[in-house]
Every structure is written in structure tokens, then in C-alpha cells.
Amino acid sequence: MASLARTFASSLANRSYRAVPASASAFKFASVGFSNNDDQKQSNAGQMRHHSTTSVPDFSKYKKTKNSGEASRNFAYMMIGSTGLVSAAGAQATVSDFLANMSASADVLALAKAEVELASIPEGKNVTIKWRGKPVFIRHRTEAEIAEANQVSINELRDPQQDAERVKDPKWLVMLGVCTHLGCVPIGEAGDFGGWYCPCHGSHYDISGRIRKGPAPLNLEIPEYNFQEDKLIIG
Ligand code: FES
């Protein structure tokens, strides 16, 4: 142990240390030296700018003044409002044109209604006209036919309807000439009940257009119609 201590002491005694060569003043000197170089560079750059031949325009009149922000905002609001008004006017014109095109023209309206001179149909006769692409039967019924139509008990009918429910004026029976079975056109003054007969599958209608026999499920349909003086207006 003693020899180990002696060896350690000897090594400490033989170790040499180098003196620190740099002092605080040396560092300060170096720092001052670098600072002087930067100032020189900046000074040179300033001289270069100072000697530049580029002329810069005067933009001072375009610079925003204190109230310019508010003025430009008001202008923007005015432009947005004006654009909205113009757009609304354009939309209104477009919608008006669209509706004008969608509305029925005079010739279409004329086709939608049919006008018949009642005086041209003798009593006891049928007339068939075309209305909206379909046949319409108009029958000028006799007193005997009216009485016959009213004698039928609705209990025996497949599609129970009084004759009075099917006419506005008992003299005039107005019906669509389309069989309610599969759409054939029945023949007038034919069949077992003195009314109409559909030859397609054998349906018989009476003098009120009610189904009495055969496969048709319903009475002949009554269209919208009115009387105007001595005219019948269908549709
Ligand atoms: S279509 Fe008239 S009876 Fe069939």
C-alpha cells in the first residue's frame, strides 16, 4: 500500500502543465477586430446603394390614406349590391320566359276544348267527335230513352249509377267512347240494351252508357262539359 502511494505521488510530481496562452484581453481584441470588418462591409454596401442610378417612381399618391379603407369598402358593397340587382333582374326575365314557354298556346287551348252546336244533332241520333285524341259520344235522347234509363234499378248494375248522376240535361248524354274493358270504341245503337256494344270482347252498355253485360268493369266515362246557350263545350 505504501509503495502504491509513493508511485502516485511520483506521477503527480512529474506531470507538466502548459500555461494558458490566451488572456481575456486577447479575446476582446479579436472580437473588436471582427466588428470593425462588418462595419466596413455595411459601409461599402451603403455606398453602392447611394451611387445606384435606378430612379424609383413616386408612389405616394397611391398610398392609402386614413379614410381610403372605408371608401374602398363602401365601393365594394355598392358593386356587390349592383351585381345582385342585375342578377335578380336577369333571373326574373329567365323565369318569365320559361313560364311563358310552359303555358299553353292558343292552339293547344283550343284543342283542350271542343265545341258542338246542339241544334246540329237531331233527336234520337248519335254524333261522335274527337276530343284530346279520344272519341266522345253525344246522344240526343228521346223521351222514351230517358224514361227507359230511369226505370233501371241500380241494384242490378255492375257499376251502380243513377241516370241522373250521368247527365246534366236528360236530353243529352255525353260520354267518352272508350270501352272500360281494354279501350276499344263501342258501336252505337247496338247491343242487347239499346245503347252501345263493344265488339272486341262483347260488352253491352245501356242507353245511359252503363255496363250491363260483358267483361267491361265500369260504365262509360263522363267527361267535363258544360252548356253555353245552344252549344255544348267539352273540356
Ligand atoms: S275492349 Fe270492349 S269488351 Fe274488351
User: Is the distance from CB of 196 to CB of 188 less than 8 angstroms?
Assistant: yes
Residue range(s) in the chain whose domain bears CATH number 2.102.10.10? 114-234
Total-model pTM: 0.57
pLDDT tens digit sequence for 24-80 = 444 443 344 444 445 445 445 445 455 557 788 887 777 766 666 677 777 778 888
The CA 206 to ligand 1 mean position distance, Å, reads 15
Ligand 1 first shell, C-beta below 6 A: 179, 181-184, 198, 200-201, 203, 214-216
pLDDT tens digit sequence for 184-217 = 999 999 999 999 999 999 999 999 999 999 999 9
Q: Among the atoms of ligand 1, which is closest to the Cα of residue 198?
A: 2
pLDDT tens digit sequence for 125-179 = 999 999 999 999 999 999 999 999 999 999 999 999 999 999 999 999 999 999 9
Is residue 140 flagged as an active site residue?
no
What is residue 204's three-state secondary structure? strand
Q: Among the atoms of ligand 1, which is closest to the Cα of residue 214?
A: 3
114-234: CATH number? 2.102.10.10
Question: Where are the alpha helices (H) located in 63-159, listed in sequence order?
Answer: 68-102, 106-112, 143-151
Nearest CA to ligand 1 atom 3: 201
